[in-house]
A and B are shown apart, each in its own frame.
Chain A
Amino acid sequence: MSGHEFQSFFPESGTVDMTDTTTNIDDTTFAELRQLASRYPEARSALLPMLHLVQSVDGRISPAGIEACAEVLGITAAQVSGVATFYTMYRRRPGGKHHIGVCTTALCAVMGGDALLEQVSEKLGIQPDETTPDGKFSLERLECNAACDFAPVMMVNWEFMDNMTPDKAQKLIDDLAADAEVKSTRGATITSWREAERVLAGFPDGRADEGPSAGEASLLGKSIADEKGWAAPKGGKS
């Protein structure tokens, strides 16, 4: 990772691969796409969730997925791909079973994120935005994921992996590779990237009750206040 020459960190987004026409989209998918469209006052509002659903079915934004969204919404395929190519989460090529993100925005980078990305990249044998040949892992150089008080941060299938170290990163990848049970530090048991995409599309997986209320850092101010007997003023009325 020299980083000096010009390069896009996000080559996976920005285009749709029209050469790979394979798809798993079937009648059930169409029914679910229509269901998403019906949740909004204007159907087109469902397009982002619909594209998440396409990814959960096809593992990427497929040409068939684009056509399906266009058909359900009554817009053109060009309009759909224009949207799909704008957003970083939509992939041109299939993501791995587990999508690994390492945050390298300034704060995480400085705190060790750069080193973690290099380590994980080396261990997986792929660069950011690539997928391992066995389809098990894809890797992404993340931008700030709203967990800075837990830096350095990694994500697996968009679940928080807080306060990472080289040892923890090593074990995380080993465990995922061995299909051992892995739990997010502030989330559920890790399933797969595609299952995550289905939840983001708006189909709950029943795992909301897993994991803690909050991480230690989130509770720090509250616990100091409790220690010192500090609280907000008593309300006049409730």
Chain B
Amino acid sequence: MVDKLTPVLSANWGTDNSWKLATHQAAGGYQAVAKALKMTPAAVTDVVKDSGLRGRGGAGFPTGMKWSFVPKDNPNPKYLVVNADESEPGTCKDMPLLLASPHTLVEGMIIASYAINCHTAFVYIRGEVLHVHRRMQQAVAEAYAAGYLGKNILGSGYDLDIVVHAGAGAYICGEETALLDSLEGRRGQPRLRPPFPAVAGLYASPTVINNVESIASVPSILNNGAEWFGSMGTEKSKGYTLYSLSGHVARPGQFEAPLGITLRELLDLAGGVREGHELKFWTPGGSSTPILTAEHLDVPLDYEGMAGAGTMLGTKALQIFDETTSVVRTTLRWTEFYKHESCGKCTPCREGNWWMVQMLRKFEAGQAAVGDVDKLLDVASNIGGKSFCALADGAVACVTSAIRHFRSEFEDGYSTPAWELFPYGRSALFEVPETQGAHA
């Protein structure tokens, strides 16, 4: 029987100077690199494949399989790009990982790069997290000085350079092809696929793009074996992962557990919904994953469980909202986010999100016209599935799922402002003067 919580990535986060090379080495760090460099690249890929590790950035694509798609006969250089553009509303796992344990990522990057025969790897970190950049820059410098990066790593004859790169405030760059355009020094706009990045990615060369947590999981798999990893989690969702609880819970935070734990179990550990309140709705993996309610408390938080509930595991960013919260207000705020973050390339997304914001503002103000709920759904149906990338689908998902579960609350927006039905101050963690924090 596996324990309820299984800290692996977060195991050393509480250690003094956890971000330094010496601390990481003292805890067995870089042993996985030494081990991997003695194996063939194909054997390294096989271990990751056998482990069942799936992408932790949202899509859940098998990591080892992604690596194996890199064509061996392509003469161009191969590239690894780590997506550290963590910006999905609610998502807050990769940044603490990089702050506390940047060497775990560096170690994973070396192993992944070796497996795909790459000699230049990049970590694309969102710009708005200064200290994460400092820790990552220093970790990479330390790794060079110790001979884990650069020429002839640990005498293996294998060379690797890592470039730490800063984004500049664009959620869309978390989308892998937009990230590539951004990393090429362009506006971050998604590319049409195919060709897929594995064939023509960065500089039109074979490229693997993985989430921070996915790559950071690799050293533990190399150290302990695929079977060990698979002993945690469920049949199709193997391993441990970071769940982030935020919002109206007694104790928000990060919980590293086998895939398949439920929100009820996590809430128990987090001390439940804040005192005197009850769960109203939640996101399983960021605002782009359709919201769920109290009836889904016992659905396993794994890829299949969430798909079965009509949503997605996403980034495992569990945002908890209690009964004081206006769904209309929350949906509007998320839609404002998507409106601003739409890159503008696809008309349905660029214009559609703008229109949804206009409509939702009327719902919030109690000035929507009778029948506007159906009009909003109609607008949404002309955005989702009609754009290049998943931003549009995520933007639509939060609106349609909110209407599915709380239609009457939107209909209340035909006559009554949301702030009258749900005085906004009551949702806040502190006393808010009547005149503040509300659109009154």
A residues lining the B interface (CB < 8 Å): 1-4, 6, 8-10, 13, 39-42, 44-49, 51-52, 73, 82-83, 86-90, 101, 104-107, 109-112, 114-115, 118-119, 142-152, 155, 157-160, 165-166, 184, 186-188, 196, 199-202, 204-205, 207-209, 211, 213-225, 228, 230-233, 235-238
Contact = CB atoms under 8 A, between A and B. Distances in A.
Nearest to A48: B168
Nearest to A218: B96
29 contacts: A82-B187, A87-B167, A87-B168, A87-B170, A106-B319, A106-B330, A110-B330, A110-B424, A110-B427, A114-B436, A118-B437, A147-B92, A147-B95, A149-B246, A149-B254, A158-B127, A208-B137, A208-B138, A211-B131, A213-B16, A214-B96, A218-B254, A220-B251, A220-B252, A221-B10, A221-B269, A222-B5, A232-B7, A237-B223
Interface string B94-124: 1110011000000000000000000010000
B213 interface: no
B2 interface: yes
Contact of B167 (A48, A106, A142): A48
B18 interface: yes
B358 A88 contact: no
Contact of A221 (B224, B254, B325, B365): B254
Contact of B89 (A3, A73, A144): A144
B415 interface: no
B193 interface: no
Contact of B168 (A52, A111, A146, A214): A52
A109 B31 CA distance: 44
Query: 9 tightest CB-CB pairs across the interface, nearest first?
Result: A220-B253, A235-B224, A115-B437, A47-B185, A88-B169, A221-B255, A87-B168, A230-B3, A187-B131
A218 B253 contact: yes
Contacts of B171: 143
B430 A219 contact: no
Contact of B184 (A44, A51, A115, A215): A44
A228 B245 CA distance: 19
Given A88-B168, A143-B89, 10 more contacts: A3-B439, A41-B203, A87-B188, A112-B437, A151-B246, A188-B131, A216-B253, A230-B3, A231-B3, A232-B7
B20 A209 contact: yes
Contacts of B130: 157-159, 187-188, 196, 199-200
Given A110-B321, A145-B128, A204-B137, A233 B2 contact: yes
A222 B256 contact: yes
Contacts of A211: 131
B146 interface: no
Interface of B: 2-8, 10-11, 13-20, 28, 31, 77, 86-92, 94-96, 99-100, 120, 126-131, 133-135, 137-138, 141, 163-171, 182-188, 203, 220, 223-225, 227-228, 231-232, 240, 243-248, 251-257, 269-270, 287, 317, 319, 321, 325, 329-330, 333-334, 336-337, 340-341, 343, 358, 361, 365, 424-425, 427-433, 436-439
Nearest to B7: A222
B157 to A, nearest CB: 21
B162 to A, nearest CB: 11
B87 A214 contact: no
A48 B99 contact: no
A83 to B, nearest CB: 6
Given A158-B127, A236-B224, A218 B168 contact: no
Contacts of B254: 149, 217-222
Determine which residue in A73, A87, A111, A208 has the highest number of CB atoms from chain B within 10 A of its CB, and name it.
A208
B320 to A, nearest CB: 9
A43 to B, nearest CB: 8
A73 B224 CA distance: 46
A138 B431 CA distance: 26
Contact of B133 (A47, A107, A200): A200
B127 A149 contact: no
Given A202-B164, A213-B99, A115 B428 contact: yes
A148 B429 contact: no
B272 to A, nearest CB: 14
A228 B265 CA distance: 14
A144 B248 CA distance: 17
A51 B13 CA distance: 33
B225 A235 contact: yes
Contacts of B337: 105-106, 143-144
A232 B253 contact: no
A207 to B, nearest CB: 6
Determine which residue in A1, A225, A230 has the highest number of CB atoms from chain B within 10 A of its CB, and name it.
A225
Contact of A148 (B77, B126, B317, B431): B317
Contacts of B186: 44, 47, 83
Contacts of B10: 218-219, 221-222
Nearest to B225: A236
B127 A186 contact: no
Contacts of A9: 336, 340
A208 B134 contact: yes
A187 B19 CA distance: 12
Contacts of B438: 114
Contacts of A73: 185
A73 B186 CA distance: 12
B95 A213 contact: no
B18 A214 contact: yes
Contacts of A2: 439
Given A10-B340, A107-B246, A200-B130, A222 B14 contact: yes
B189 to A, nearest CB: 8
B129 A158 contact: yes
A148 B92 contact: yes
A146 B14 contact: no
A202 B168 CA distance: 13
